[in-house]
């Protein structure tokens, strides 16, 4: 038997609800058609579907993505509609999904499941990668003397929960060194194989490192650690929307990400996956009414009280955009642009590339420097001379992100500026 609330929800989602609840239904979706065809024409036409002015190149997706206009419109439209029509909403039966944190959002979680190859009950909606990492670091029971292994290249959002746990409960936290640049995947796999010891219970590492955008061999490491019964966690903040992610193929126990980076969702979008077979081992950290719902563990781990449902509408739109453009086409374009940047940089004297040049270990992130410049000076020079906005990495230079809103012409411009700096600085 379907409950009244479930009916209203599903009808509203389908845009079929009438009368009182009809007013509360999500704003009608209006999206421009995608450009037709393939190749450069497709990408330059698609660029017009982003609100950034032509001539300005955003090269910092690694920090936060630039959402397409349709994502912004869906989110804003949702807020406007409900601000206008809120008096029409019937809350007598617990309300509608305007409160976000109280509703299971099954369709949205199914869409995320399609993206990363998981069942919706294995997926929780969070605010970002940091929240996912903390839910794991604080939700796992670990025996006394247990050791957690990460890399020494974690973002603070990938390591701080473990540090807190180490300080509060005495869990050992150990960091495996990752060289800069990384030569090949074996180097990292061997380092983890050597580091895992009798007390190790958790292995937690990034799919793509934050500082240099190096893709780590998570599949091999998770499979190896998994065979030893360790709990394996992958930080996918820099991976989802950037490179293919198949959590079943990786074989990790948990995977968390920030779709507001490469998936181009609105800021404040997060996902946490935990494998069905191990999800009951993770306690709820942020508890509300469904905190003990082990029938739908993803919903249990989504408890967070009232949130902004417009954000989830934006995330839903970003997923639709991603699927419509085509995941493989997106990953291919990002990689092609990144490869061409790295190839061009490698040919310029006095330039250092800190991202791995192994073909399987890099895609849309490239950290580089020229003539040992200060990163902020290099960042500002690229902006002043070329309207290119990467992100300073201090003495390491800049981290330059390439996404589908970037173009080969921008890469040529960046390379020309770098070549000039190499000659004159």
Ligand X SMILES: Cc1ncc(COP(=O)(O)O)c(C=O)c1O
- Given candidates 113, 206, 259, 375, which one binds ligand X under the rule CB under 6 A? 206
Contact set for ligand X, span 266-295 (CB under 6 A): none
Q: Does 146 bind ligand X (CB under 6 A)?
A: no
DSSP codes of every residue in 174-231: EEE---SS---HHHHHHHHHHH--TTEEEEEEESB-TTT-PBP-HHHHHHHHHHTT-E
> Which member of 155, 242, 275, 342 binds ligand X (CB under 6 A)?
155
State the SS3 of 347-396. CCCCEEECCCCCCCCCCCEEEEEECCCCHHHHHHHHHHHHCEECEECHHH
Nearest distance in Å: CB 391, ligand X: 10
**What is the spatial distance between Cα 147 and Cα 319, in angstroms, rounded to a whole number?**
37
Report in angstroms how near the CB of residue 26 gets to ligand X at its nearest: 25
Q: Looking at beta carbons only, is 237 or 418 nearer to ligand X?
A: 237
Stretch that binds ligand X, among 18-26, 235-243, 273-281, 322-330 (CB under 6 A): 235-243
CB of 109: closest distance to ligand X in angstroms? 19
> How many whole angstroms separate alpha carbon 65 and alpha carbon 266?
8
Residue 76-115 contact track with ligand X, rule CB under 6 A, x = bound? ----------------------------------------
- Could you tell me whether strands 147-151 and 172-176 are parallel, antiparallel, or unpaired per DSSP bridges? parallel
Q: Would you count residue 312 as binding ligand X (CB under 6 A)? A: no
At its nearest, how many Å lie between ligand X and the CB of residue 375?
16
Select the span of 22-30, 105-113, 123-131, 197-205 touching ligand X (CB under 6 A).
123-131
For ligand X, the closer CB: 163 or 407: 163
**Residues 238, 351, 366, 401: which binds ligand X (CB under 6 A)?**
238
What is the total count of residues that contact ligand X (CB under 6 A)?
12
Q: How many CA atoms lie within 13 A of 181 on its CB side?
A: 22
CB 407 within 8 A of CB 59: no
Q: Are 51 and 73 in contact (CB under 8 A)?
A: no
* Tokens describing residue 356: 């791995």
235 counts as binding ligand X under rule CB under 6 A = yes
128 interacts with ligand X by CB under 6 A: yes
Query: In whole angstroms, how far apart are CA 162 and each of 154, 170, 288, 401?
Result: 11, 10, 24, 28
Contact segment (CB under 6 A) with ligand X among 37-45, 52-60, 150-158, 224-232 equals 150-158
Piece of the chain touching ligand X by CB under 6 A; list 124-132, 215-223, 340-348, 388-396: 124-132
Whole-number Å distance between alpha carbons of 392 and 57: 15
Tell how strand 200-206 and strand 231-235 pair up: parallel
Among 108, 237, 274, 310, binds ligand X (CB under 6 A): 237
202 contacts 225 by C-beta, under 8 angstroms = no
Distances (CA, A) of 401 to 14, 77, 252, 266, 368: 37, 29, 26, 18, 11
Least Å distance between CB 258 and ligand X?
A: 3
Q: Smallest distance, Å, CB 213 to ligand X?
A: 9
- H/E element, 273: strand 270-274
**What's the closest the beta carbon of residue 260 comes to ligand X, in angstroms?**
6
Stretch that binds ligand X, among 127-135, 289-297, 324-332, 378-386 (CB under 6 A): 127-135
In the block, residue with structure tokens 């940091």: 130
Q: Which is nearer to ligand X, 210 or 284 (CB)?
A: 210
What's the longest Cα–Cα distance across the chain?
75
* Segment contacting ligand X by CB under 6 A, of 41-49, 231-239, 309-317, 386-394: 231-239
Would you count residue 205 as binding ligand X (CB under 6 A)? no
Q: What is the rounded end-to-end Cα distance, in angstroms, of the chain?
A: 73
Nearest in space to 276 (alpha carbons), one of 257, 297, 293: 297
What CA–CA distance (Å, rounded) separates 113 from 134?
21
Helix (H, G, I), strand (E, B) or coil at 156: helix
Can you tell me the distance from the alpha carbon of 316 to that of 298, in angstroms, rounded to the nearest whole number?
17
Place of tokens 């990668």: 129
Q: Is residue 338 near ligand X by the rule CB under 6 A?
A: no
Check binding of 129 to ligand X (CB under 6 A).
yes
Nearest distance from C-beta of residue 134 to ligand X, angstroms:
9
**Residue nearer to ligand X on the CB measure, 9 or 355:** 355
Which of 26, 65, 104, 157 lies at the binding interface for ligand X (CB under 6 A)? 157
Nearer residue to ligand X within complex by CB, 157 or 185: 157
| Site for ligand X, rule CB under 6 A | 128-130, 155, 157-158, 206, 210, 235, 237-238, 258
């Amino acid at each position: 038997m379907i409950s009244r609330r479930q009916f209203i929800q599903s009808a509203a989602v389908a845009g079929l609800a009438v009368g009182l609840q009809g007013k509360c239904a999500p704003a009608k979706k209006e999206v421009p058609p995608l450009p037709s065809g393939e190749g450069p024409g497709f990408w330059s036409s698609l660029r017009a579907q982003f609100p950034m002015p032509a001539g300005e190149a955003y090269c910092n997706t690694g920090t936060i993505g630039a959402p397409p206009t349709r994502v912004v419109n869906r989110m804003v439209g949702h807020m406007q509609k409900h601000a206008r029509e809120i008096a029409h909403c019937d809350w007598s039966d617990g309300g509608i999904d305007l409160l976000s944190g109280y509703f299971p959002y099954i369709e949205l979680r199914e869409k995320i499941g399609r993206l990363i190859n998981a069942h919706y009950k294995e997926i929780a909606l969070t605010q970002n990668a940091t929240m996912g990492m903390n839910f794991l670091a604080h939700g796992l029971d670990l025996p006394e003397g247990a050791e957690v292994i990460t890399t020494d290249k974690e973002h603070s959002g990938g390591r701080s929960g473990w540090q807190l746990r180490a300080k509060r409960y005495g869990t050992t936290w150990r960091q495996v060194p990752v060289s800069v640049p990384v030569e090949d995947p074996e180097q990292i796999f061997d380092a983890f194989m050597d580091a895992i010891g009798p007390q190790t219970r958790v292995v937690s590492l990034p799919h793509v490192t934050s500082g240099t955008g190096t893709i780590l061999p998570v599949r091999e490491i998770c499979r190896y650690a998994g065979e030893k019964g360790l709990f394996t966690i992958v930080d996918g903040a820099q991976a989802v929307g950037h490179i293919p992610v198949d959590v079943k193929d990786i074989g990790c126990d948990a995977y968390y990400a920030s779709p507001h980076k490469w998936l181009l969702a609105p800021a404040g979008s997060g996902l946490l996956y935990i494998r069905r077979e191990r999800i009951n081992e993770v306690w709820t950290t942020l508890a509300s009414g469904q905190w003990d719902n082990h029938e739908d563990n993803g919903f249990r781990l989504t408890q967070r009280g009232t949130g902004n449902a417009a954000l989830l509408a934006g995330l839903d739109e970003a997923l639709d955009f991603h699927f419509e453009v085509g995941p493989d086409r997106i990953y291919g374009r990002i990689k092609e642009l990144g490869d061409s940047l790295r190839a061009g940089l490698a040919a310029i004297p006095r330039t250092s590339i800190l991202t791995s040049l192994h073909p399987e270990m890099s895609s849309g992130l490239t950290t580089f420097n020229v003539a040992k410049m200060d990163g902020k000076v290099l960042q500002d020079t690229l902006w002043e001379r070329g309207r290119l906005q990467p992100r300073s990495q201090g003495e390491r230079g800049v981290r330059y992100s390439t996404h589908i809103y970037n173009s080969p012409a921008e890469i040529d411009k960046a390379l020309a500026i770098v070549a000039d700096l190499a000659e004159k600085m």
